[in-house]
A and B are shown apart, each in its own frame.
Chain A
């Protein structure tokens, strides 16, 4: 189900809950799938005693990956042209994340209608953890 340029308006937005009460096991699962075995994400002893953080924390790319799920649910499969983010705050076990895409522009690129989106993922305290943009091909 693709979006249509003719029915999109600046300021339209789409929101999803990405995760409720993030579990440490999901960090293990992401480590295994992605190949990023940094102990900061799975090894509580190393992270608290050596690295000096209060607990393990999520891979930025896990937050980005879940944010990407919100995007593809909104724009449709195979439609993304670009997706970029800054990781603005760490994500911790127990966090609940919501993510929003907001239409900033509907334009043309290489002859295709394209939507430009502002992307933001926040935690349960309203703190922004992922801030970025995406663009996607849409129907006319």
Chain B
């Protein structure tokens, strides 16, 4: 899995900042941003995750002409062997357990990134609240238009045996 082209765009940054309720003008106001230490609009710290928009195979985005597992007439658009919760069982891909970012440089509109994704460790654990948990790690390296490493991200996903008890 990889992303060949993740153009960092001002309107995407603005919409992302709004969605995390961050009113900081450095995320949308060029004139304000020019007077800050970075000197230009930058992206919020977790913005790189929205590279999903540019991943052609991202499985949590409905795709034109393909079945989608969310509800329509029925509660799910795809009948599948559900392993129960966590959106596991083929559809939801489990839950997000951990996320880590290392910033080598802060990204700005105009950057055009690529992302390479490598699998990391996998491990299992028993939990009282959700049965057997299967963890898997991925490491994503974001590089800019000059091939420089800008962000290293490490994500851990977990599949649960059943929905997490509340």
Contacts and interface: CB of A to CB of B under 8 A. Distances in A.
Interface of B: 12, 15-16, 18-22, 24, 26, 36-38, 42, 44-46, 49-50, 52-53, 55, 58, 60-62, 69-71, 75-76, 82, 84-87, 91-93, 95-103, 106, 154, 162-164, 166
A60 B95 contact: yes
A37 B52 CA distance: 10
A49 B87 CA distance: 11
Ordered nearest first, which 8 A-B pairs have the shortest CB separation?
A84-B100, A65-B20, A39-B70, A35-B53, A60-B96, A35-B52, A68-B45, A78-B38
Contacts, number: 165
A119 B44 CA distance: 17
Using C-beta atoms within 8 Å of the partner chain, give the interface range for chain A. 35 or more
A16 to B, nearest CB: 11
Contacts of A68: 20, 22, 44-46
Interface string A42-76: 01011001111110000111101110110111001
B163 A77 contact: no
Contact of A52 (B12, B95, B102, B163): B163
A32 B12 CA distance: 10
Interface string A15-35: 000110000001001101111
Nearest to A39: B70
Contacts of A64: 46, 99
Contact of B75 (A46, A78, A84): A46
A29 B154 CA distance: 24
Contacts of B38: 77-78
A103 interface: no
A24 B91 CA distance: 21
A77 B108 CA distance: 12
A108 interface: no
A66 B18 CA distance: 10
27 contacts: A18-B21, A32-B19, A33-B15, A34-B52, A35-B52, A35-B58, A37-B60, A39-B91, A40-B87, A46-B69, A50-B75, A52-B162, A61-B96, A64-B99, A65-B19, A65-B45, A69-B21, A77-B42, A78-B37, A78-B42, A80-B103, A83-B45, A85-B98, A86-B98, A87-B95, A87-B97, A87-B99
